[in-house]
Amino acid sequence: MELAKAKELLDSDLTYTYPARFTDLQTAMKLGSEAITYITRLRACSLEHRQNRLPSEDSFINTAPSEHPIKRILESPLATEPKET
């Protein structure tokens, strides 16, 4: 399972109001969601951590080069010169 999908599932289950006896479960789910957010941020900053996967995480590693944000801005309608009429 991918981290984004796991976080989505955990967050959707957190919206449910659990009975009082399941407060530990709800706290564990919140902790898991926060941990996934932390791991995602850590991988965005470090190539070394990007290569390591959790045991139950999908082994697919996206090696496609990312598109530079400037390229997207320059190609957007806001970046084009207005046409003279």
| In a domain? residue 15 | yes
Overall number of domains in the chain: 1
| In a domain? residue 75 | no
For the CA atoms of 55, 57, 61, 66, the dihedral, rounded to the nearest 10 degrees, stands at -130
| In a domain? residue 68 | no
Q: Is residue 30 over pLDDT 60?
A: yes
Question: Buried b vs exposed e over 36-46: b needs ≥16 C-beta within 10 Å?
Answer: beebeeebeee
Q: Is residue 32 over pLDDT 80?
A: yes
The single residue listed with the structure tokens 């932390």 is: 38
Q: Is residue 41 over pLDDT 80?
A: yes
Q: pLDDT (tens digit, 9 = 90+) per residue, 51-66? A: 777 777 776 655 555 5
Alpha-carbon dihedral sign for residues 77, 81, 82, 83: negative
Q: What is the mean pLDDT of residues 10-25?
A: 82
- As a residue count, the chain comes to 85
| In a domain? residue 80 | no
Retrieve residue 54's tokens.
Answer: 């959790």
Mean pLDDT of the chain: 76
Q: What is the mean pLDDT of residues 10-37?
A: 85
| In a domain? residue 37 | yes
